[in-house]
Structure 1
Amino acid sequence: MKIRLKNAKRLLETSGMEPCEVLINDKKIERIDHDLSAEQVDKTIDLDGNLILPGFIDVHIHLREPGGEHKETIKTGTEAAARGGFTTVCAMPNTNPVPDNAATIRELFAKISEDAVVRVLPYAAITKGLKGKEITEINALVEMGVFAFTDDGVGIQTADFMLKAMKEAAACGASIVAHCEDNSIVYDGVVHDGKVSNRLNLPGIPSLSESVQIARDVLLAEATGCHYHVCHVSTKESVRIIRDAKRAGINVTAEVTPHHLLMNEDSIMTNDANYKMNPPLRTAADQQALLAGLLDGTIDFIATDHAPHAADEKDKGFLYAPFGIVGLETAFPLLYTYLVKQGKVTLHQLVEWLTTKPAKVFNLPYGLLEENQVADITVVNLERESIIQKENFLSKGKNTPFDSWKVVGSPILTISEGNVAYINEEDIHVQTTIGS
């Protein structure tokens, strides 16, 4: 099928925007020009002057399926991703069963093929059952096409296991992606060890629990030559370690979440577990260091760590609720409103952190709005004002601290491999006609 996207704008390489039209032929972008009205097409979508971008990429989400379908499914999670403008998402392996062997990986790929509305690249576990006791067959799982390896949700507690995993991953060109947390100094914490933990009388999680494991791992990465990627960086010490490691030529990359960029521990006013995530919201100084690290390239890109939970689970307060918040449907409008519109970053930078930067880090052939590239496309209305309303999420998870936040700018059309995955015709008056 040939689809013409007309009346669009695209970003120029330096700054500003220009009018453009895009011709999609099957799964590829065939042409980008100022006027494609002479083309014979099957469908025309009028974008009404809105901005056309490469499809967003999120390398850190939780789809919960199999085993946690009451929280999220591959179908609902990818529908939420499409609404948020994401055309590629990478699913973490903390499911039941854990994707740690050929049989479970095969079943997972089959379910993704059946239910996903955008591209899903699944992780495999570093250790069997995420238990940190036995390394998975990394080479065999790489050959099956898994995205990378992680025990996300739990840190690899011993240096010998991480060293073995990195050696095997390096030998077959795979990436080790790490949730960094030294359990020996977490002390059953549920919030950052600081002002809020004292005010609410809650056990705190020290910043050191993250940074000491990153320090260990970058040296192991140096010794093995493995690509080592740090999940959801949250502390200023972690930023400093990663910056020094990059200066030393170590193959380390890192991500930061929207919630760690936009909030800190002072955002937590009550015992509301919608603010409970791991790593926790840190200090204002940590928040500032994260943005500085993103701007200077120490942190490579943004990932949401979309982590849906059932409402009754999150209603239990900080002590008993699970860690995690949802983020796929709110990421772009929040970041555009509170970073771009406030002059802290440019729109070009934000788009790169959601597209080309994660693609480059993991050698993905996506994230480009260019001729002959895969037709992964996100259209955003930069003028659309709205209020985040969790009850309207397509995700099963409604656990967000951003409910009722005012935002400007929203994805209105998402095309994944040439297929419309999400369209908001009512709000932005997208018109579809046949044969024109």
Structure 2
Amino acid sequence: MGPSSDLGRIFRSARNALDMTQGEVGRAVGYSASAISRIERNRMRVDFETRLRLAHVLHIPPERVSGFPVPAAPVIATVGNVPMPDEEDAMRRRTVLGALAAGASTVAVGTGTAAAGQTASSLSLDDMLFHLPGAEPAPLRVLASGTAGAREAFTAARYNDLANALPALLSAAEATRDASVGRARQQASAVLARGYVLAAELAAKEHSDTAWVAADRALAAARASGMPIPIGEATRVLAITMRRSGRASSAVRLLTHEADQLDPAEARTGAVRTSLLLTAAYSAAAGGDRTTALALLDEADETVERHPQAPDGLFTVDATRTQVAVYRIGVHTTLGTPDDGVPIVQNLNIRLMPNAERRARAWTDTARMWHALGNGQQAFAALRRVEQEAAQEVSRPALRALTSNLLYGPSRVEGLREFAVRTGAVPA
């Protein structure tokens, strides 16, 4: 059965039947009361994910708003960005990835087969993107759960597990997208976009040129989905590849243009907008544009004051005050004023950050700041914290280079050589 042409009436009738206010519904799905009013009057279009969230809150059968039957199992909620936090759900995601990977002779995310210090460079990113295994279409709920498991591997800094699982996931998502029509095709495109976003993030960590390919594919799939959050995710990773290739000003223009398309007054899109502004600020700093970098940080600060939360979907950057503070440290260091980051570091509680990858990145920015200030002891202490949070993170090319610079710097730091050997910065 196709979706009704009068979604607003469906949502309004269900809300009235439950005796809920527009404000109550809005808080449940991350929208304002005025936005719910516009939705009910068909004055505001909402993406598929929001339809499912509204359907869940208002006890509406999902097929009435989605255009195709939706299983009642909770795994479909990962498409609508509802978290699956408990251990049983995490195991389900790993099992789903294992099932997807079985036909492609890959290893499921979460198996822990990779050595702790081994990086994804031992796995061919070229093969991942240019020689995907054959796959059959898979149910959307399976793809959604598998993609959530892949993001879980990324945020836990299990990069080898992610690299092993992505080929099968991408293949299944592409096959499903190609075999689908209508809304189901849009949903499959969103899942595919998020898989390529993770591939681009992984390639960027290895400074691999394949990040361009993955980011470009991510944005094409995201635009095909028509959903603003996957488009924001893909825009961000494409801009990172542009910045790293020396096109910082182009990256800033891309990010700010996409941010301007998002409503800062809405909780979900406002959080996405904050993440885009943060990446734009760092890109401006990389291009030496101090005025733009600081202005974008201030704008991100204003947005996060209204919506201090992580964006929905599979964003790997959260839009919180702590995240803004971390970006300020990186921006000041990049602009050549690392001393401006010191008071920020002194008041920063990195433990508040939501996952190992984000905490490791925060400690990395802290290490770079101390290194720029000539304080090798503090820089090494921060690198040790990176290793404690995410063992595979310290073996990234950028971290190995920082470790090597410290090792051959003017001051001797106890334990640094052993650390350099252990992380591959220097030969044993």
TM over 0.5: no
Structure ranking higher on relative contact order (CA contacts 8 Å, 6+ apart): 1
Relative to total residues, which structure has the larger helix share, 1 or 2?
2
Relative to total residues, which structure has the larger strand share, 1 or 2?
1
Please report the TM-score for the alignment, with normalisation by the length of structure 2.
Answer: 0.31
